[in-house]
Amino acid sequence: MKLTSHSLRLCALALGIAAAWLPTAQAADSTTKAAAAAAPAALKGDVVAANIDASVKPGDDFFEFANGTWLKNNPIPAQESMWGIGQVVQDDLYLKLRKISEAAAAQKNAAIGSDEQKVGDFWTTAMDQALADKLGLTPLKSDLARIDAVHDLQSALDEAFALQPLGVDAFFDFGVSQDEKHSDVMAVHLEQGGLGLPERDYYFNQEPGVAKARAAYVEHLQRMFRLLGADDAAARNSATQVMAFETALAKVSRPLADLRDPEKNYNKLAPADFTGKFTPAIAWGARLKAWKLSPETVIVGQPEFFGGLQALLARTPAPVLRDYLRVHLADTYAAYLSQDFDNEHFDFYNRVLSGQKEQKPRWKRTLRAENTAMGMILGRIYVKDYFSESSKQRYNAMVESIRTAYGERIDRLDWMSPATKAKAHEKLAAVTRKVGYPDKWKDYSALSIGRESFAQNMMNASHWAFNDMVSKFGKPVDRNEWEMYPQTYNAYYNPSNNEIVLPAAQFIIPGYADNEIDDAVVYGYVAASTIGHEITHGFDDQGRQFDAAGNLKDWWTKQDATRFNQRAAVMVKQFNAFEPLPGLHINGEASLGENIADFGGLMIGIDAFKKTEQFKKGEKIAGYTPMQRFFLGYALSWLSQEREDLLRQALLSDVHAPAKWRVNGPLSNIPEFYEAFDVKQGQPMWRPEAQRVRIW
């Protein structure tokens, strides 16, 4: 809820960087193939030119033109559900993190509680498949025993609340984070949740692929119950009833697009009033007090969901609630248990939902879990070894060039009044930049890691994270804290802090040192795709509702807000028309914020790039002008292909459009793109001027 992430670039990967990112083809100039024929050697190793598919015209499909050769020559590996630049970067990161982990594990006398001891013991235990197989369900034994004792609604609620600190969002979702209307205060948030499928529409959409996944989910539940000890008939009955329970829960959940309205999803209530009006069975005051929380108010995202949950719980028999809790606990920790649980979890959540054909090697799955459990410990070591001070300075300076360009663009807007412009400038000036890594590292001293079991270490980490979150209530907001690790290929904007956070790994282009890449490519790849994108999130359909201090507060004139919404509606219509799979369109309403951020990032990235020496000189590199290389750099940032199952999942549950449309969608509205690649009327990417988006 609090983060607006840059992309779905966080994926575990398979092949090593040397094999995966070598340039594989020569390129052609956008206007003639003769340039490629004249100097093939010069183009072979260029960071963007080598990826180009000259058989595709830029105005027909720029994504395929810019990335097509690389995508053709690098099919999705069996161990992946998508493959592209993000996954190759992640592979490189995995190699570095493995080196760090193995070095820690090799230390024989690491002090108890030290970073080396925690990393080393985590790695050693998680890599021990034989130990996991020997233990089977033992790590969950005590929690499963308590669930087995559930006999009525209140005992079911006891266990649901006991599972929340383990990362199991049974029935609902809970968190402590900044109050959207009082950003200096940490507040208790209660949200809809509790589903086993990725999003509520998976329970209702009749598209054949979704219906197939829905049926496969019931089969998955049945197999999980068998693994938990039930016979075939009992497992079948339990699976059917849990699916019926979750379907009813999905029915009272808000659709994805409706979750993007911060005002409608902000409902402040006293715990006693919340109990009395919506959930008589849940004494919120007492329940929260058990977590050492005594809030005067709670922020409820979707009150009607909790009313529906109350009715559903009241009519559901205790055995069904037991089964629901049991299977959600088991699925949460299946990847850290014995091979049979791990394989079953993979078979549904990766093979069926994402199309991944094979498990990744255990060492990569271990690193993914290690990042989840103690990412900042790894990050502290990673940046010391792999992120230079010169890189940090380059991107700090780039943030400021983007900020300046955005301010100038605000001044030029013909649809925004002077009063709103003044407030926009105030907010822009107040945006905090966080580049590379935190100035102050998180304290993990209370986290206990040992060699008992992989699952136990993950449970310890979940308890630690929960306690760390809860401990923030009643304390001043720590605006220096990061919610991503430095070794993350991603970025985010946090509206409550009015900040952009740019981890060190986000700047990587595989196979190239930072100083080997020209500004044109970097301004497209980083300044537009990441920095400009994240700053624009402060002014998208959600972010624009937060003021300079990070409070949900209307600072727009009524007329300006109307004009903004009219312009945003053009983008909604454009993306609603895209149909990546037959019968499944992009959700223009749900993806609006990301699409505005992509478009805004490009516009201000262009403005900032025009001030560079490379643009002013106008010299070609590998046959491409500076502005052409800027757009090729932007397309490089979204170089990716995914399996159909993952694409289907994203269209139903993700607020980001698929990669191809994050390139072609915004570019079809940008005059500089038309000029750079001579896009003509009649080509698929050409739009009449009156139908183009004009926001930032």
| Residue 402 bridge partners (DSSP) | none
Q: In terms of Cα–Cα distance, which of 516, 569, 1, 543 is closest to 299?
A: 1
DSSP 82-96: EEEHHHHHHHHHHHH
| CATH code of domain 153-320 | 1.10.1380.10
Residue 582's region, left for phi above 0, alpha for psi from -120 to 50, else beta, is beta
Give the Å distances, CA to CA, from 548 to 143, 324, 500: 45, 43, 13
DSSP category for residue 255: P
Cα separation, 193 vs 207, whole angstroms: 23
Q: What are phi and psi of 267, to 5 degrees?
A: -135, 105
Residue 8's pLDDT is 30
Domain boundaries, the chain: 4-20+47-93+388-442+473-691, 153-320
Q: Are 341 and 313 in contact (CB under 8 A)?
A: no
Residue 45's pLDDT is 81
Mutual angle of helices 592-609 and 626-637, in 10-degree steps: 150
Candidate CATH numbers 3.40.50.720, 3.30.200.20, 3.40.390.10, 3.40.470.10; the one for domain 4-20+47-93+388-442+473-691:
3.40.390.10
Cα separation, 669 vs 685, whole angstroms: 9
Task: Write down the pTM of the prediction.
Answer: 0.91
Q: Are 530 and 482 in contact (CB under 8 A)?
A: no
CA dihedral angle for residue 374, residue 379, residue 384, residue 390, rounded to 10 degrees: -170
Mean pLDDT by runs of 10 across the 696 residues of the chain is: 31 26 30 31 70 98 98 97 96 96 94 96 98 98 98 98 97 98 98 98 96 98 98 98 98 97 97 98 98 97 98 98 98 98 98 97 98 96 91 94 98 97 98 96 96 98 98 96 96 97 95 91 97 97 97 97 97 98 97 98 98 97 98 98 97 97 98 98 97 94
Locate 18 and state its tokens.
Answer: 């040397």
> How many other C-beta atoms lie within 10 A of the C-beta of residue 680?
11
Cα separation, 482 vs 260, whole angstroms: 23
Q: Are 78 and 357 in contact (CB under 8 A)?
A: yes
List, in order, residues 6 or more apart from 141 with CB less than 8 Å away: none
Locate 99 and state its tokens.
Answer: 């080196």
